[in-house]
Homo-oligomer: A and B are copies of this chain.
Amino acid sequence: MNKYCFLNGEIIDSESACVPIDDIGLLRGYGVFEVIKTYNKKPFLLSEHLDRLEASANYLGIIIPNNREEIVEIIDKLIGMSFGSEFLVRIVLTGGRSVSGMDFNGHNPNFFITLADVPVKNEEQYTNGVSLCFVEHQRFFPTVKTLNYVFPIKLKQDIKDGYFDFLYHFNDYVLESPTSSFFLVKGDKIITPKDNILMGVTRGFVIKIASEMFQVEERDVLLEEINSADECFITATNKEVLPVVKIDDIVIGNGLVGEKTKKIIEKYNQIIQNV
């Protein structure tokens, strides 16, 4: 975390920022969040992230205590007060304090915004692609970005050597990675699952830029389609567009980063350099 953060109406020193131990976010994982990346110190796709935050909060019945303009101002202010070139902005909203540990009052949430430095990019992963492992899983409330990530954090401790992350499938369909959206390329088409997944903000943006160059299909993706995929990649705020060249023992295409993936990465990089 960077030196300053926002917590319940105030900008304070991050080291003194804490929430009461009877917060239902802490006791029960009952809360929602967003992570936004800056380029040129500007939060990228902020409006889309705030749309999703609002939808998630609304679903769990938690009232966001600051309006959108205030949140934008708070983030700007934090960026202005922080050292570092680019940031990951994390916005967290919990259900607030709870007497029984089950009930809560959505009108008294804990709401905080922190900045962290962007981890150094591992360029080799973008040049050579990464490998994923299949795991059978589907999020609960898949479209809601809740605080619950017990499953992927535990899972990651046991990932096989040489594998970067997991790829969830359920009932014969490919879904998403724990913190990324999944795409595959087949002939002329860019294909991505559309149901029972978190609606990735970067996913939405990549669909937009890919649609200008290729045919994009949002639809159910059968697990067996991986076998005939020419290219695969995952997308996420922090990972941007990351090529996937192997899934379990299946080598994707010729095992190298695909041409269409490269074109999408190129386009993505052009845009973020000029925001």
Main secondary structure of the interface of A (DSSP, over half): mixed
Closest to A94 in B: B26
Is there an interface contact between B21 and A20, defined as CB atoms closer than 8 Å?
Answer: no
Interface residues of A in 230-274 (CB under 8 A from B): none
Closest to A25 in B: B26
A176: interface (CB < 8 Å): no
How many A residues are at the interface, by size bracket?
A: 35 or more
Alpha-carbon distance between A23 and B141 when the two chains are bound, in angstroms:
23
Point out the residues of chain B lying under 8 angstroms from A104, CB to CB: 153
Alpha-carbon distance between A218 and B27 when the two chains are bound, in angstroms:
30
Interface residues of A in 1-52 (CB under 8 A from B): 1, 5, 7, 14-15, 17-30, 33, 35
Point out the residues of chain B lying under 8 angstroms from A219, CB to CB: none
Least CB distance, A22 to chain B, in whole angstroms = 6
Is there an interface contact between B140 and A150, defined as CB atoms closer than 8 Å?
Answer: yes
Contacts A21-B19, A114-B21 known; A150 to B28 CB distance under 8 Å? yes
Interface residues of A in 85-115 (CB under 8 A from B): 90, 92, 94-95, 99-102, 104, 112, 114
Point out the residues of chain B lying under 8 angstroms from A61, CB to CB: 154, 157
A60: interface (CB < 8 Å): yes
Point out the residues of chain B lying under 8 angstroms from A153, CB to CB: 24, 28, 30, 95, 102, 104
Closest to A137 in B: B140
Contacts A101-B90, A154-B141 known; A149 to B18 CB distance under 8 Å? no
Point out the residues of chain B lying under 8 angstroms from A26, CB to CB: 19, 23, 25-26, 92, 94, 147
A-B contact pairs, 9 of them (CB 8 A): A19-B19, A19-B21, A24-B153, A26-B94, A28-B148, A29-B150, A30-B149, A99-B116, A100-B119
**A interface residues, Cβ below 8 angstroms from B:** 1, 5, 7, 14-15, 17-30, 33, 35, 59-61, 90, 92, 94-95, 99-102, 104, 112, 114, 116, 119, 137, 140-141, 146-154, 156-157, 179
A-B interface, 3 closest residue pairs, ranked by CB to CB distance from nearest? A29-B29, A18-B18, A28-B149
